[in-house]
Amino acid sequence: MRLFALRGANSVEVNEADAILAATDRLVRELMERNALRAESIVSCIFTLTDDLDAEFPAVAARALGLDRVPLLCAREVQVPGSLPRVIRALVHYYAGDEHQPQHVYLGDARSLRSDLDSAQ
């Protein structure tokens, strides 16, 4: 077993709790499905939000998906002029076999953040 890190992001249409929870739910589900992750293999997860999202914590959605025993942290993304608005990002640390190839996930408008990664789309 080896420690890996995954990146992912999803855009949110509006700064509303339900929209943040839905976008986070979709992002976490995709990260887990594409990488065959179970909650037991996840070490920790850090979520960041752009300054225009403050209606809910992304960790709430992750806990609802069964990550209630995983250390979760929410933080602010660095505000860079001209950066993509209304984005939730995730950094997931997990254990997998040595042969594993991480599949990063970028959804919605956030696909533009890593268009260089075919596997992320």
Nearest to 107, CA basis, from 26, 4, 22, 18: 26
**Has residue 61 been placed in a domain?**
yes
Flag whether 82 is in a domain.
Answer: yes
Indicate if the pLDDT at residue 120 is higher than 80: no
The domain tally of the chain equals 1
Is a pLDDT exceeding 70 seen at residue 121?
A: no
Q: What is the mean pLDDT of residues 48-55?
A: 98
Whole-angstrom distance, CA of residue 40 vs CA of residue 112: 31
- Residue 121, domain member (yes or no): no
State which of 47-51, 78-82, 111-115, 117-121 shows the largest mean pLDDT: 47-51
Q: What is the pLDDT of residue 82?
A: 92
Domain carrying residue 79: 2-115
Helix, strand, coil percentages, rounded to 5, for the chain: 30, 30, 40
71: CATH? 3.30.1330.40
* pLDDT value at residue 118: 59
Residue 120 lies in a domain: no
pTM here is 0.93
